[in-house]
């Protein structure tokens, strides 16, 4: 597959997929943006906090305005987007339901409302409803073919639906229309998916430059750059970016989580636990809670690990109750931890049908392997690596499947590739890979 993305552009579909903390506000200041300004709407659409309690204040003002004039479409638009930002800032998925209600009200009043249409597209992405997001992104594009954001929504959805050439074309068009953080980040992600990590790194550096001095946007891009370095085992470079992220946006949960993994790689389990606990305390995303549980588990603290694992089920129920699809993430956690493996396989099949991406194939392959169905697993593992993605965990899954099938030479080669790429790719599975090579 060829992709001629402009050399000046970079990536990561995560912007609109990020959640904040569960019923917790990590802000401290009290400044508030003008809720009437296009800048405020653009801020909410970008998915970043302006700092302080600005979003909460904006929500209060908008709700007050709408009590006076319930048919104010502009205020409904802004409120719907502000609710999504509150979901990212607090982690309370109930804001997703509120956002849907506000934006649908706006559309009933103004059926060709671009902001409401694209806002519902972003909401669908946040809820992992990617087919729906694609429909809404296309609808927004039909309303305004030159709006760059619409290509981002379409491209993000297409990536998760496994339609990569169309996704990359959308990202290229977005970058042409509006070069900047969001388009650079997406192109970088596309390059990463294709295994072109050095180019992805250089493109993400452009996103860092575009976000310089902007608080959370700079912290996010530095975290993404650190993730790229981590993916190829450049631990010191990853740590440098994550610590820089914390300097520009203190307490940033993504950087805390990343630094916890780095401390674990160094063998500093106590420091890793402390950092992971800070990330969970700020925003208990399921992946943070799972990582904290895994840290306790490898340290022999089984009861502490069990408490974290139990919390994940509570968080997932909250997400599902507010329209978020968690099938893929739940299946991977259950398969990794040997929980109800036949049911987890069924969930992985459902998830892969909804998200026929390389991630969907990888999780299904791993679920099949853990259920002893290694021949079927190999076919999906091949699909998971079809783009040439340099992903140590996917390679580990492939190596274990080959081992199950009795192809020891292929297995050893694949496991060596995984560990050479990133010797610390998983606190659970990197030791398994090393043991398998003994």
Residues 6+ apart with CB under 8 A from 384: 358, 359, 361, 362, 365, 394, 397, 398
| pLDDT-derived band at 3, boundaries 50, 70, 90 | low
CB 200, CB 228: distance < 8 Å: yes
Averaged pLDDT of the chain: 90
| pLDDT-derived band at 40, boundaries 50, 70, 90 | low
Task: Give the mean pLDDT of 207-232.
Answer: 96
CB 3, CB 180: distance < 8 Å: no
Task: Give the mean pLDDT of 360-377.
Answer: 98
**Distance between CA atoms of residues 425 and 392, nearest Å:** 6
Task: Give the mean pLDDT of 323-333.
Answer: 96
| pLDDT-derived band at 51, boundaries 50, 70, 90 | low
pLDDT of 45 above 50: yes
- Domain architecture of the chain: domains with CATH: 1-29+36-182 (1.25.40.10), 326-436 (1.25.40.10)
Residue 35's pLDDT is: 54
Q: Which of 7-11, 48-52, 181-185, 379-383 has the lowest mean pLDDT?
A: 7-11
For the segment 149-165, what is each residue's pLDDT rounded down to a tens digit?
Answer: 999 999 999 999 999 99
Task: Give the mean pLDDT of 184-193.
Answer: 98
3-class DSSP string for 242-277: HHHHHHHCCCCHHHHHHHHHHHHHCCCHHHHHHHHH
Task: Give the mean pLDDT of 38-49.
Answer: 60
Longest Cα–Cα distance of the chain, Å, equals 72
User: What are the distances in angstroms from CA 92 to CA 7, 123, 207, 329?
Assistant: 38, 14, 28, 18
Structural Rg of the chain based on CA atoms = 21
For the segment 388-403, what is each residue's pLDDT rounded down to a tens digit?
Answer: 999 999 999 999 999 9
| pLDDT-derived band at 34, boundaries 50, 70, 90 | low
pLDDT of 50 above 70: no
pLDDT of 25 above 90: no
**Distance between CA atoms of residues 23 and 314, nearest Å:** 13
Residues 6+ apart with CB under 8 A from 285: 19, 21, 91, 253, 279, 315
Q: Please measure the distance between the N-terminal and C-terminal CA atoms of the chain and give it in whole angstroms.
A: 36
Task: Give the mean pLDDT of 249-267.
Answer: 96
| pLDDT-derived band at 296, boundaries 50, 70, 90 | very high
Residue 430's pLDDT is: 97
Nearest to 380 by CA among 410, 405, 359: 359
**Distance between CA atoms of residues 49 and 31, nearest Å:** 12
Q: How far is CA 116 from the centre of its chain?
A: 23
pLDDT of 52 above 60: no
User: Which one is predicted more confidently, 378 or 15?
Assistant: 378
Residue 19's pLDDT is: 25
For the segment 93-129, what is each residue's pLDDT rounded down to a tens digit?
Answer: 999 999 999 999 999 999 999 999 999 999 999 999 9
Residue 91's pLDDT is: 81
**Distance between CA atoms of residues 1 and 164, nearest Å:** 10
Q: Which of 11-25, 42-56, 380-394 has the lowest mean pLDDT?
A: 11-25
pLDDT of 10 above 70: no
Residue 44's pLDDT is: 65
Task: Give the mean pLDDT of 242-256.
Answer: 96
């Amino acid at each position: 597959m060829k992709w001629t993305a402009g050399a000046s552009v970079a990536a990561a579909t995560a912007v609109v997929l990020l959640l904040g903390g569960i019923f917790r506000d990590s802000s401290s200041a009290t400044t508030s943006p003008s809720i009437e300004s296009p800048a405020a709407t653009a801020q909410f659409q970008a998915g970043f906090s302006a700092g302080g309690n600005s979003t909460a204040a904006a929500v209060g003002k908008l709700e007050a305005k709408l009590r006076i004039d319930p048919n104010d479409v502009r205020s409904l638009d802004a409120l719907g987007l502000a609710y999504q930002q509150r979901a990212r800032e607090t982690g309370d998925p109930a804001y997703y339901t509120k956002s849907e209600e506000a934006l649908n009200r706006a559309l009933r009043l103004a059926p060709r409302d671009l902001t409401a249409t694209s806002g519902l597209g972003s909401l669908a992405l946040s809820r992992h409803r990617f087919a729906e997001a694609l429909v809404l992104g296309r609808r927004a594009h039909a309303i305004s073919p030159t709006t760059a954001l619409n290509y981002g929504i379409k491209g993000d959805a297409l990536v998760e639906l496994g339609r990569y050439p169309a996704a990359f074309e959308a990202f290229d068009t977005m970058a042409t229309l509006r070069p900047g953080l969001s388009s650079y980040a997406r192109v970088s992600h596309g390059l990463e998916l294709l295994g072109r990590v050095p180019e992805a790194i250089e493109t993400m550096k452009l996103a860092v430059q575009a976000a310089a001095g902007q608080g959370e946007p700079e912290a996010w891009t530095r975290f993404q750059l650190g993730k790229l370095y981590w993916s190829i085992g450049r631990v010191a470079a990853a740590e440098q970016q994550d610590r820089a992220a914390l300097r520009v946006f203190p307490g940033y949960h993504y950087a805390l989580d990343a630094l916890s993994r780095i401390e674990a790689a160094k063998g500093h389990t106590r420091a890793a636990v402390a950092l992971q606990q800070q990330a969970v305390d700020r925003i208990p995303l399921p992946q943070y809670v799972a990582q904290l549980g895994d840290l306790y588990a490898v340290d022999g603290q089984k009861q502490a690990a069990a408490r974290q694992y139990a919390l994940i089920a509570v968080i997932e129920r909250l997400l599902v109750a507010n329209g978020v699809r968690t099938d893929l993430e739940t299946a991977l956690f259950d398969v990794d931890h040997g929980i109800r493996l036949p049911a987890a396989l069924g969930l992985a099949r459902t998830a892969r049908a909804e998200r026929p991406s390389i991630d969907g194939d990888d999780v299904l392959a791993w679920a099949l392997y853990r259920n002893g169905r290694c021949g079927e697993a190999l076919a999906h593992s091949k699909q998971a690596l079809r783009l040439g993605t340099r992903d140590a965990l996917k390679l580990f899954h492939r190596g274990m499947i080959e081992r199950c099938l009795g192809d020891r030479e292929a297995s050893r080669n694949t496991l060596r590739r995984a560990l050479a790429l990133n010797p610390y790719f998983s606190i659970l599975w990197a030791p398994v890979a090393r043991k398998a090579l003994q």
